[in-house]
């Protein structure tokens, strides 16, 4: 049986902010660097995680 993790909107937002702080970039900086393929592997992992969080947050409106 698959594992399901339940998080509140606030928890998702906090995770998103922690990830951006971890790579020391704003969302705009990270997005810009992702668009030009200028991210390290760790930064790329953060970018993909943030994309997933944004998807979840957009469906929570």
Supply the pLDDT for residue 45: 97
Buried/exposed 21-32: b ≥16 CB within 10 Å, e otherwise: eebebeeeebee
Q: Does residue 26 sit within a domain?
A: yes
pTM: 0.85
Work out how many domains the chain is built from and give that number. 1
Q: Judge whether 44 and 34 are in contact, CB under 8 Å.
A: yes
Q: Does residue 28 sit within a domain?
A: yes
Supply the pLDDT for residue 60: 61
Q: Does residue 3 sit within a domain?
A: no
Q: pLDDT tens digits, the chain, 61 residues: what are they?
A: 778 878 899 999 999 999 999 999 999 999 999 999 999 999 999 999 999 999 999 986 5
Supply the pLDDT for residue 5: 79
Supply the pLDDT for residue 1: 74
């Amino acid at each position: 049986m698959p594992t399901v993790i339940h998080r509140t909107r606030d928890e998702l937002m906090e995770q998103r902010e922690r990830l951006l702080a971890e790579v020391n970039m704003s969302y705009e900086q990270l997005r810009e660097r992702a668009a030009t393929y200028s991210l390290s592997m760790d930064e790329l992992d953060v970018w993909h995680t943030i994309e997933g969080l944004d998807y979840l947050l957009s469906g929570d409106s």
